[in-house]
Amino acid sequence: MTEQDGNLVEVTDLRKEFGGLVATNDVDFTIPRGAIVALIGPNGAGKTTFFNMLTGVYKPTSGSIVFDGVEVSDLPPHAITALGIGRTFQNIRLFPHMTAVENVLVGMHCRLHSGIIGSILRTPKVRQEEREAVDRARELLVYSGLPRRHRERAASLPYGDQRRLEVARALATDPKLLLLDEPTAGMNPQETADFTAFVSRVRDERGLTVLLIEHDMKVVMGVSERVTVLEYGAKIAEGTPHEVQRDERVIEAYLGKGATTE
């Protein structure tokens, strides 16, 4: 099995305890390269905890996370981003008073190399790097559907544009894996459909792998190729969207025991 195929992410026996509470319960999880995978589950199932361990915010109590062949469970967030995981946040966390371009430029931080002395002297190399970075940032903004928003302050953008900007910023980190945390929350059906198409495009055109946390089943059904369901921190089902939709345990988890009895 070559590095090109196979799994981009391999999570083994991942466990997270907060004092007495077990938030993640010995979960095994893989993400095949190039796939769009969704992580769903009722509130409190531990999806965000899982995300946070993937991105280095939380340290797992035990277990391992291997990303592209590298063990990342003991790395801080910025190092994981440098390795190739980009993310958006459930509650949008743009840099509110930076412009759209500046937000994206921050995303490029780990891909740029200008140092202190170079920045002070503004050497030709630094100037060129900055020029190219701004060009790339503008491209990403256009690509993400924000063609005329470069110089607008992030906090003053409409909600849908803010979500797109977050994605543009995450793409700026040049990721192999894109983590989207409830990206369509608060969107109307049209916006949701547009966004779903966008996610597909991003995966197809940029060769990315995508992991979504989602509550909107239309998005899950519409775009994901595999769905994993968590409940109380443990994996209770995994498979194609259709398989999962029919899984008894999943229905119970969402609707309660009564729903499965006819």
Partner 1 sequence: MTTAADRARTWVSGRDRSLWVAAGLIVLAVLYPSLVESLQDLPLIGDFVPSVSGMVVMLAFTTMAIGLNVVVGYAGLLDLGYVAFYAAGAYTAGWFASQQFDQWTFHFGSVGIVKSLPGIHLSVWLVLLIAGLFTLVVGILIGLPTLRLRGDYLAIVTLGFGEIVPQFVRNADEEGIGFDLTHGAFGIAPIDSLGFGSLGERLGLPESFQTSTDRAKWFYLTAVLILLITVFCSVRLRDSRLGRAWIAIREDETAAAAMGVPLMRTKTWSYAIGAFFGGVAGAFYSSFRSGAFPADFYFNISVFLLCMVILGGMGSVWGVILGGMLLAYLNVEGLSTIGAKIQDAGLDFDPTKYQFGIYGLIIVAMMLFRPTGLIPERRHAIELEEGVHDTPFYDVTTEATLTDRDPSDD
Question: What does the binding site for partner 1 look like in residue numbers (CB under 8 A)?
Answer: 55-59, 74-79, 81-82, 87, 89, 93-99, 102, 105-107, 109-112, 114, 116, 119-122, 126, 130, 151-153, 155-156, 169-170, 172-173
Give the residue among 170, 243, 157, 159 at the shortest CA–CA distance from 208.
170
CB of 99 to partner 1, least distance (A): 5
| Strand order across the beta sheet in which 36-40 lies | 85-87, 177-181, 209-213, 36-40, 226-231, 234-239
Contact call for residues 225 and 211 (beta carbons, < 8 A)? no
Dist CA 173 CA 104 (whole Å): 9
Dist CA 51 CA 53 (whole Å): 5
CB of 185 to partner 1, least distance (A): 17
Dist CA 245 CA 235 (whole Å): 15
- Closer CB to partner 1, residue 17 or residue 247? 17
- Closer CB to partner 1, residue 168 or residue 250? 168
CB of 120 to partner 1, least distance (A): 5
- Closer CB to partner 1, residue 173 or residue 209? 173
- Closer CB to partner 1, residue 156 or residue 188? 156
CB of 198 to partner 1, least distance (A): 20
- Closer CB to partner 1, residue 73 or residue 228? 73
Contact call for residues 6 and 213 (beta carbons, < 8 A)? no
CB of 132 to partner 1, least distance (A): 12
